[in-house]
Structures are given as structure tokens and as C-alpha cells.
Amino acid sequence: MTTGAQPNIAAEVVLNWADGDYLFALKLKQIEELQRLCRAGLGEIAQRLFSGRWYAADVVETIRLGLIGGGLPPARARELVETYVDGRPIADPRDANNALAVAQAVLGAAYFGVAEALGEDKAGDGEGGDQPGKEEAATEEESTSRPSTARDSPSASPPETSGG
């Protein structure tokens, strides 16, 4: 138990994706379903997503289940995936909100956590009002409409999947 400067860590992230801002969270129930659908443990799914050796289900189900864990009804989550993922390039480098980047940000939040903003004075370098926390995770994989560093996130660093 550490006190003081420890940030609050959340396993959820708000991303500007599809037609608006959505809360994504992979809670235990969604993680278990993701593992079942992808036929792999969470560490292996993370390794595949971050190393470029992903399967379509790794991307699609991470997004769909992340939306459900974030509070959307399953039918609405499926509708969004069908509208904004199906039939579009999964990893289009011209689209900062591509499905792969969103899946990486969602899984990164569940796997590594996201520091929540503790106050306005912790706004990082002050550019554009970015705050650590949910919005920081949105810029992790450049899943917002802000152009920046699409691949410079903590979750995009070499995958550390211990235990596997």
C-alpha cells in the first residue's frame, strides 16, 4: 500500500471513435469472453495486438467487448463494430481512429491501466489541454481526432507478456 504520489489507475479509456466519444472497458467478464472468442489468454492477445501478429477477432472482439464493458448494450456495440470496422481497413495508417489503434488502446487500458487525472495542474506539457488519464489513453494509439504521435504510447512499447 503506497500513499502520496501514486496516481489513480483505471482500466478504462474514453476514445473519440466512430460517431462520438465512447467509454471502453474490459472488465473480468469481458476479458473472459475475449479469451474464449480469441482462443488465447489476455497476455497472448496483447502480444499479438502489439506485435502485428493479430487475428481479426483480436481486434474486432476487443472493440466490441470494450464497448459493452464501457456500458453500451451488446446490440449497439455490435452495430457500431459492423458500421465502423467491417468493410474498412483494419490498420489504415491514414486513419488515426483505425480499428487496430482502437483495439490497442482498449487492451492497453485493461492490461497496463491508465493514470486518471488528479487535477487540472497535472495537464502534462499543457498542449491542447491534454490531461493524463482517460484522454491520455485516447492519444495513446492516436484514437482521437488530434494529430500527434500515433505510435509513441506506453502500450505501444515492446509487449511485456510475463507469465504466458
5: DSSP letter: S
Neighbouring residues of 84: CB distance < 8 A, sequence distance ≥ 6: 17, 18, 19, 99
Helix H or strand E segment including 114: strand 114-115
> What pLDDT score was predicted for residue 151?
36
DSSP β-bridge partners for residue 12: 25
Distance separating alpha carbons of residues 54 and 76, to the nearest angstrom: 25
Which of 106, 112, 115 shows the shortest CA–CA distance to 141? Answer: 106
Helix (H, G, I), strand (E, B) or coil at 47: helix
| 69-88 per-position pLDDT tens digit | 999 999 999 999 999 999 99
pLDDT greater than 50 at residue 97: yes
Distance separating alpha carbons of residues 92 and 109, to the nearest angstrom: 22
Yes or no: say if 122 and 135 are a contact pair by the CB < 8 Å rule.
Answer: no
Model confidence at 50, pLDDT cuts 50, 70, 90, reads very high
Distance separating alpha carbons of residues 124 and 95, to the nearest angstrom: 25
> What pLDDT score was predicted for residue 7?
67
